Structure 1
Amino acid sequence: MRFLLAPDSFKGSMTSAEACAALREGIHAFDASSEVQAVPIADGGEGTVDALGEILDGEKITERVRDPLGREVNASYGWIESDKLAVIEVAAASGLPLLHETELDPHQASTFGTGQLIKSALDKGAREIILGLGGSATVDAGTGCFQALGVHFFNEKKQELTMNGGALRHVDAINLADMDSRVQEVKWTIASDVTNPLLGVSGAVHVFGPQKGVQPDQLEAFERGMSRYAGALQKASGVDRREAEGSGAAGGIGFTLSSLLADASVKSGFDLIAELGKLEEVVASSDFVLTGEGKFDRQTLYGKGPSGVATLAKRYDVPCIAFAGKIDDEADIRTQSDVTAVLPIVDEPMTLEDAMRNGPRLLQKAVQRFLDVYIAGQYHKEVQR
């Protein structure tokens, strides 16, 4: 049998690449002769480096950089030497996973560490950079990132600012003259599924600010700061990208990227990985497609991960089996999505913590149970004949 493994991450338990490894082990424990090909799925957030690293056979480069609160941490990005391609996640240096819930501080949080990773990639001779925007802990509009790359931000008194979310309201002028010139020389691809504009009730602050620690009574102050910064960047860059799709991504990083990198292309994480992993071609030659994620619910139907995989599988009449740590509204999912079946990986009563800690083992056992049932069904068909 020929299997395509295309799971999303199981948040907090497994990256998509780790889920592929667990599925592969389960299949080969059942039948070592099965052909298995993996195309891990990610949306531009945590797991994107691992997913593209497996697809493109890359390595990881680890650097000491600043986390969102300025502390030194190790952060990695993907590197494909043959193409001089760097794959960088904002989440690696500036992401929510780096902070405890009690540490969320949108006033102080900065993307400076992401800029340090970009500089490292440029120093290695990067000709192309894929930047995944998901999972940031910041609302600094990427100003910290670009400060690390040489951009200067000043207040009304001509004093240079140290950029973070709280400093946006003080930005009066921006000097781009010292920005690392190599930033404009590489090919940029921005991986993001977010289409929100920068400002307004659908913008970076109101929609994504609360998950980064912005309190309800702080929303308007942060919105004013973001608007003031937007005006300053418009003056410095000569373009207005406030209403552009995706400007609100990652706490406003999308706005700064689109303002300063005119030739950057934006792709959804799923579409990018589907293209680089030749997903449609692999689906068409498979007997089964296995996908999954931590929680399978109605939101899955509107995503680009397991839902997109299932749609491709249906196009080629290939059964698509989805595995999940938790399944909500199972009946609706079966009738409204293109998956053939949605199967839980938890096999006995356990706490959420235990389930997440043992995710790979549970997934491995779940695929073996599925294959047991499938083979039993095939045997029954033969008997009926």
Structure 2
Amino acid sequence: MKVLIAIDSFKGSISSIKGSEAISLGIRDIYPEAQIVTLPLADGGEGTVETLVQATNGKLVKKEVIGPLKEKVEAIYGILGDEKTAVIEVAAACGLPLVPYNQRNPFFTTTYGVGELISDAIEKGCREFVIGLGGSATNDAGIGMLQALGFRFYNMNNEKVGVDGQALTDIWKMDLGHVNTKLKECTFRVACDVKNPLYGPDGAACIFGPQKGATPEMVGQLDKGLKHFAEFVLDKLGIDINQIEGAGAAGGLGAAFSGFLHAHLQSGIELVLEIIEMEKSMQGIDFVITGEGKLDGQTSMGKAPLGVAQLAQKHGIPVLALAGGITEETAALNKLGVTSYFSIVNTPMTLEEAMDPKVTFSNLRSTTNQLFRLLQAVRTGVKT
């Protein structure tokens, strides 16, 4: 018996690493000699750094940077086992959780710290970057990050503009003479699972601004700023950053990475699976176990369990998916590679109880135990 465990974190409850441990114990309860391969997952969002660092025997790096409110914060990024690839979650430097609820205002938040993390990794010898977008508190189209990397933007009076969302409408001139020269040696792969343009009804401000604290009036002003910046870049560089798929991700960071750093934006889970070489790990596997906190319609749109299931389906390997919650839309996964899916909640309980890490760990182990007990009975034809 050889089993591959590849689950995402059960967000707010248990990490993919601890969840994998619980599932492993459930398997060994029934098959003590089972060969178990564990590959914790993330989809480009929260947990991506930890996942890729562990999978490649890399290391975590702490760095004090300018946070979203322009105050110092301690951010963590990873350097993978090859010692040349840095993995950065932008939320570590400009994430919404770093901003108290009563201070959320994308006029004044900045991505400057993201640029500082990139600069630090470059100084440590990294030339390849994996960037996880999502969860930002910003709407500055990445001008904060770009300024930390040496790009300079000026207003009509030849004064440097600010590093936040409100500064976008002030930009009239750009100076590339101070850009970090080592950026030319760097390659950026960006995990981006949204298709939004930079501005307009489906742009960064209109769609994501309100959750970052923007009022309807502010949304309008921010959208004007994004449009002005896009037209400025088109005029000066000949690049239409608005029409790039995913330009509006993370308050416009997608546009900055693609337009200025020539990044390749791709599906988060596809990027992660590629880096950890998931397909190689499926050789000789009898069963794959995947899962996340909740299986729903979003799962079938490209989240971690779907990526795993599609690879397993390619090799004809049965897939079991485990989750805390399951909705009716989850049935679509049966046509996309998931053989069977199961909720680990085995008795009536509140959401708070179900998300308790100890309860989740116990439920993952016991559910796996019961599934493999059934499997053992079917395989041997012996009642247990």
TM above 0.5: yes
Contact between 1:61 and 1:77, CA under 8 Å: does it hold in 2?
A: yes
Change (3 A) 1:98 1:52: same
Q: In the alignment, what sits opposite 1:368?
A: 366
Q: Secondary structure at the match of 2:125?
A: coil
Q: In the alignment, what sits opposite 1:345?
A: 344
Q: Secondary structure at the match of 2:118?
A: helix
Aligned-partner Cα distance in 2 for 1:20–1:140? 38
Comparing 118-127 with 147-156, which one deviates more in the overlay?
A: 147-156
Change (3 A) 1:379 1:30: closer
Contact between 1:25 and 1:364, CA under 8 Å: does it hold in 2?
A: no
Q: In the alignment, what sits opposite 1:265?
A: 264
Aligned-partner Cα distance in 2 for 1:87–1:2? 30
Describe how 1:37-116 pairs up with structure 2 within 5 A.
37-80=37-80, 82-116=82-116
Paired AA for residue 312 in structure 1: L
Aligned-partner Cα distance in 1 for 2:135–2:28? 34
Q: Secondary structure at the match of 1:82?
A: coil
Q: Secondary structure at the match of 2:51?
A: helix
Deviations 1:214-245 (A, max 9, x none): 23333222110111112223334332222012
Contact between 2:19 and 2:361, CA under 8 Å: does it hold in 1?
A: yes
Deviations 1:257-314 (A, max 9, x none): 111123x323221111222222223234212211111221112111242112122223
Paired AA for residue 322 in structure 2: F
Aligned-partner Cα distance in 2 for 1:162–1:254? 20
Paired AA for residue 280 in structure 1: E
Contact between 2:208 and 2:251, CA under 8 Å: does it hold in 1?
A: yes
Q: In the alignment, what sits opposite 1:7?
A: 7
Describe how 1:195-206 pairs up with structure 2 within 5 A.
195-206=195-206
Contact between 1:12 and 1:356, CA under 8 Å: does it hold in 2?
A: yes
Paired AA for residue 89 in structure 2: E
Unpaired stretches in structure 2, ≥5 consecutive residues: none
Comparing 301-310 with 363-372, which one deviates more in the overlay?
A: 363-372
Paired AA for residue 281 in structure 2: V
Aligned-partner Cα distance in 2 for 1:126–1:377? 46
Q: In the alignment, what sits opposite 1:327?
A: 326
Paired AA for residue 167 in structure 2: A
Aligned-partner Cα distance in 2 for 1:324–1:164? 39
Describe how 1:205-220 pairs up with structure 2 within 5 A.
205-220=205-220
Contact between 2:16 and 2:40, CA under 8 Å: does it hold in 1?
A: yes
Paired AA for residue 235 in structure 2: K
Aligned-partner Cα distance in 2 for 1:277–1:185? 23
Paired AA for residue 150 in structure 1: G
Aligned residues: 382
Deviations 1:57-99 (A, max 9, x none): 1100001112211222211111135342111110111112323
Q: Give the CA RMSD over aligned residues.
A: 2.3
Shift of 1:53: 0.8
Q: In the alignment, what sits opposite 1:27?
A: 27
Is 1:248 the equivalent of 2:248? Answer: yes
The sequence identity of aligned pairs, in percent, is 40
Comparing 340-349 with 43-52, which one deviates more in the overlay?
A: 340-349
Contact between 1:27 and 1:368, CA under 8 Å: does it hold in 2?
A: no
Q: In the alignment, what sits opposite 1:357?
A: 356
Q: Secondary structure at the match of 2:130?
A: strand
Aligned-partner Cα distance in 1 for 2:22–2:373? 20
Paired AA for residue 53 in structure 2: G
Change (3 A) 1:146 1:371: same
Is 1:151 the equivalent of 2:151? Answer: yes
Aligned-partner Cα distance in 1 for 2:287–2:227? 49
Aligned-partner Cα distance in 2 for 1:35–1:99? 44
Shift of 1:247: 1.3
Is 1:318 the equivalent of 2:302? Answer: no
Change (3 A) 1:14 1:335: same
Describe how 1:147-296 pairs up with structure 2 within 5 A.
147-262=147-262, 264-296=263-295
Unpaired stretches in structure 1, ≥5 consecutive residues: none
Shift of 1:114: 0.9
